[in-house]
Every structure is written in C-alpha cells, then in structure tokens.
Amino acid sequence: MTGNNQNKPLQHDLSVVLCGEAGQGIQTIEHVLTGILKRTGYHTFTTKEYMSRVRGGENSTEIRIASERVATYVDRIDVFFPLSKDAVTHLANRLSEDTLILGEKASFDSSINMIDIPFSAIAEEVGGKIYQNSIAVGVVLGMLQVDAAFYKEYYAKYFASKPADVIEKNILACSRGYERGARLLETNAFQHDLKTNPDVYNELLMNSAEAVALGAIAGGCNFVSSYPMSPATAVLVNLAGYSHEFEIAVEQAEDEISAINMALGAWYAGARALVSTSGGGFALMAEGISLCGMIETPVVVHLAQRPGPATGLPTRTEQGDLELALYAGHGEFPRILLAPGSIEQAFELTHRAFDLADKFQVPVFILTDQYLMDSYYNIPALDLTALQNANHIVETDADYARYKLTENGLSPRGVPGFGKGLVRVDSDEHTEQGCITEDLNLRVQMSDKRLKKMDAILGEFISPELVGCDDYETLVVCWGSNYHPVKEALTKLDNKKVAMLHFSQLFPLHPDVTVRLEKAKKLILVENNATAQFGKVILLQTGVSVQNKILKYNGMPFSVEELVVEIGRIASEG
C-alpha cells in the first residue's frame, strides 16, 4: 500500500471507501456526499457493510463515482478513509499498492503509507469532533474540484432544521476538507479523468427499499402490516412516511403471525395489503400462508433475505430463502415468486405483484436481500406508463358462490358488502358456497381447481432477460440482486460467446425457458447461497441440471472482480 498514484492511469471510475466504528456517522458521510455528487452531475453507486451492533465493530461504505452509470460493488479501493484504528486491518485484503490512504497518521502503524489528514485537529478548530464527517466529505469534493456552491446549497438544505451556526460550521468543515483534497491534485498525489453529465442532476438517487414501497403504492397498496425486522423494515418505514398522502393504513403488528393474518383480513375486505418481513419473521407466517392458499385470498409478501439459520448474520446479505418461500405453508396450492434485480425492477415487479395476486387469488412473494435493499444509485426515472390496476372484484348476487368450480380454476372473488351475496371463506375444505365439507370427491375437485391456476399464471410469465449475444456458447444464469454484478462482469470479460440470463420470476417457470438453457454448450449458475437453491428449482421445473456453480454465502455480495475471474475460468475450460 504505497498510495503513490503519480504513475497510475487516469480514473474514469473511482471507488472511495470509508471505514470506521458504528456510531461514527459514516452513513451521514455517505448520504451527504452522494447527494452533492449527484447534483454535480456524477454517476454514483453506494453500498455498505455493517455489523449488528449500535456501537463499535467496523463498518464500511463504498461509494463509486463514475463518468458512466455504475450499479454494483467492486473489491477495488482507489481512495480509502480509515476513520478508526482497526479500519486498515478490517479491509486489508482489499487494499493494494495503488490505494490512496487518507487518515490521521498518528493513529496508525508507521509502516502504513498514508497521507496525513488531521481530521481531529481540524474538527476541533471548527467546533468539535462531530464535524469530522463534513471534513471527509470536503476532502473528496476537493479532489474532484466540485464547485463550492453545490455543497453550500446542499448543507443548507440537509441541516435546514438545525440552528444557523450548525449549518455554518458544517460548511466551514467541508471547506477545510476541500482545501486538503485540492492539495492532493496540486501535488499529483491524486489524478482523475471523471466527467460530469448535467442530466444526472434531475435523476433519482434511491435504493430498492424505496422502490419496493413506491411500487406497492403504484399497485394500489392501502394497507401494510409488519413487525420490524432488518432489512425489510425500511419498506414499512417508507410506506408509513407516505401513509397520509396516499391514504395507507399502517399497522406495526405485535408479531409476524398477526401481521400476515391482518393482511389476509384486509384483502378479504377489499383492500390491497402488503407484508414486509425477513426470513425469521416469514417463518412465523407459514400457517398464514397456508390459510391464504385454502381461502384463495390474495396477499403480497415482501421477503428481504439475510443469512440464516436463526438470527444468522442479521445485517449481511444472502439469497438463502428461495426454498423457504417456495415451500412455506402446509398442503399444496399455487404461488408466484418474483425477485427484482435492480431498482427499476423492484418498482415494476412490486406494482405487478399486486395485480397478479388479485387476479389469480394467490400469494405473491417479492424476494430481495440486504445488498439490493441498502444499495443506492442514480436512475433516469421510474417507468410510470404501465401503472394501470385492474379491478378483479365482482359484485355478488343472491346466489353467489365464492368457490365456484371453473375451467381455469379462478372463482369470482367478491367482498362483503358489495352486492347481495354472502361471502363465506373457511380454512377447512369447503363447498362452492364456502361451507365446511368432508365430501371426499368434492375435496379432489377443489384441490384440482386451486392447482389449475398454475396454467393461467404461466400465461403471464415474466420472461428472463438475456444480456449479451443471442449466439452464446456459455450462459450465466442468475436471479435477483446478481443482475448488475454479472452484467458488469460480462462487460469487463468481453467475450461475445458468454451471455447472461437473469430471472426475475423464479416460480413457476415457463417450459420455454428450457430452450434457452439447452441451447448453451455450458451453463454457469451464480447464487448467494450454499446449495444452489435456484439451480434445484430449474431442475425441478425444466429437467435441466446446471453443473457449473459460482456460490457465495459469507454474507457479502459478489464483486465484479471475482465474477470476472470465476466466469472467465469456467468459460475457458475445455
């Protein structure tokens, strides 16, 4: 780690990492810095890794600053701010001779080659230790020569609720850091060739937690019941924030069992309800999911995955709950599993989930994970052109039969008070009118009726997205949040015979998928779990066995670099 950048090629994509203890305000630096950079016209991407503690430990955040769009994590660290004494050790495997380390020399081993930035001393001159964060923001802005007007305006808005002297001191601290950052350019310790784009100023800077919440609103969500559990809580919080504007009833339930049953009751009454939870909470909902299958009441469940079993790594990422969602609930009944891979898909698929649940009267699960939920980047806009919500509720007549036997398995769904009919639902096997029955022949008919919906659901299958040349020899199969990591890795691999097939609908799979898979001479599966759960779904649904697997389950997302190495290695093997 020499920090000597004088002979390094000029950067078009800069990876800045800050690392410190929980409670040091690293998230504040992240939010302020990315907000200013977007206004300046830089494309940005931010992701974080943090420990499950309020104080102590080592947390880090990565901010990619680029001339072109970026939307995924890299191992490479170009500029490193160690804000605690153990930060260098914590990220030692990601530091290289080209990493520019900026920190307080006195706090670290003298063997570490870093440029001294006396954060503590400068902060005390400004007004106290609390202003160290704004100094760090200023250093980066000075290195990029951002116009001072951008950060002055942003700080005035960001701290608008604070006293005037707090705003002034933060601006002063940022200016002092800016001077230090500009000096790095003057001394050739740092050079870059990053370009700004004025169009970025008006773009959206958001994460998928916000996108899921907005997608739910677009889908007509007017009731949310959840028990807080990271990383799903952010969706509940976002919907609560919009509740008055969009007339959403928000209920923080006493537990997840109550949450799922409240949502089922809301759908039964004619509302459109969402439950947001994580693996441990979802496990408690299994009986409610089975009730949903029997009474054929729609429900939308957002399942934000994190490593298990049990509490596992509660603040890390994993794709380990696919099989949990696929098999949750006793008995046999249809369901739909969706897994967005981008902010745009998080919005679009959540919106669509409400219509699919309503139309087919089944549970629809939206699978995200901590990495997808907590990562920010800028996007041009959300597509609002297809935001029509069909009404699938019927007005009942006096002879209304809630579970009428039909060719396609879809019975007319009425709600209490809308029409003359009585809307009966029952958790026992039932007649067409919803009365308990032990007629064993009728049991078979009702079971077949429910399962017939699978054919209708496949009629609206969301096809996987092919990225790359259609004339591929190697096909990389992935799902959910691995969309952007694999996509960028293939760009850097630059092998026209390697393509990506990304699935955003995980179940059911359409038989046509088999053609895509069997066309490849070599298949590679990329998943964030230990047992290739989606690979097993593919085998179950298509009969295709994916032999080559790249699996990661240490709680961290895939980096672009490791995917380039692993995909390249497998693709080149004879």
Task: Please state which of the ranges 13-27, 253-267, 337-351 shows the lowest mean pLDDT.
Answer: 13-27
**Is the pLDDT score of 329 beyond 90?**
yes
For 315, half-sphere exposure in the C-beta direction (CA atoms, 13 angstrom radius) is 13
User: Which superfamily, per CATH, for 205-379?
Assistant: Thiamin diphosphate (ThDP)-binding fold, Pyr/PP domains (3.40.50.970)
Least confident of 199-213, 279-293, 372-386: 372-386
Contact 200, 43 (CB under 8 A): yes
> Per-residue pLDDT tens for 519-532?
999 999 999 999 99
How many percent of the chain have pLDDT more than 70? Answer: 98
* CA pair distance 429, 446, nearest whole angstrom: 8
pLDDT digit string, tens, across residues 263-276: 999 999 999 999 99
CATH number of 13-202: 1.10.3720.10, 3.40.920.10, 2.40.160.40, 3.30.420.10?
3.40.920.10
Average pLDDT over residues 103-107: 92
> Is residue 231 within 8 Å of residue 304, measured between CB atoms?
yes
**Beta bridge mates, 564:** none
Q: What CATH number does the domain located at 465-572 have?
A: 3.40.50.920
Mean predicted lDDT score pLDDT of the chain: 95
Please give the Cα distance from 287 to 285 (Å, whole number): 6
The pLDDT assigned to 10 comes to: 64
Instruction: Output the pTM of the full model.
Output: 0.95
- For the chain, residues classed under CATH 3.40.50.920 are 465-572
Span(s) in the chain for CATH 3.40.920.10: 13-202
Query: Within the chain, which residue ranges are assigned CATH 3.40.50.970?
Result: 205-379
What tens digit of pLDDT does each residue of 133-171 get? 999 999 999 999 999 999 999 999 999 999 999 999 999
C-alpha count within 13 angstroms, C-beta hemisphere, residue 168: 4
Amino acid symbol at 544 = V
Please state the three-class secondary structure of 520-569 as a single string.
CCEEEEEECCCCCHHHHHHHHHHCCCCCEEEECCCCCCCCHHHHHHHHHH
Under the banding of pLDDT at 50, 70 and 90, the label for residue 427 is very high
Residue whose pair of structure tokens reads 């769009």 in the numeric block: 69
Mean pLDDT, residues 229-239 taken together: 97
Averaged pLDDT, 232-258: 97
Q: How many C-beta neighbours within 10 Å does residue 330 have?
A: 12
Which letter, b or e, does each residue of 480-494 get, where b requires 16 or more Cβ atoms within 10 Å of its Cβ?
bbbbbbbbbbbeebe
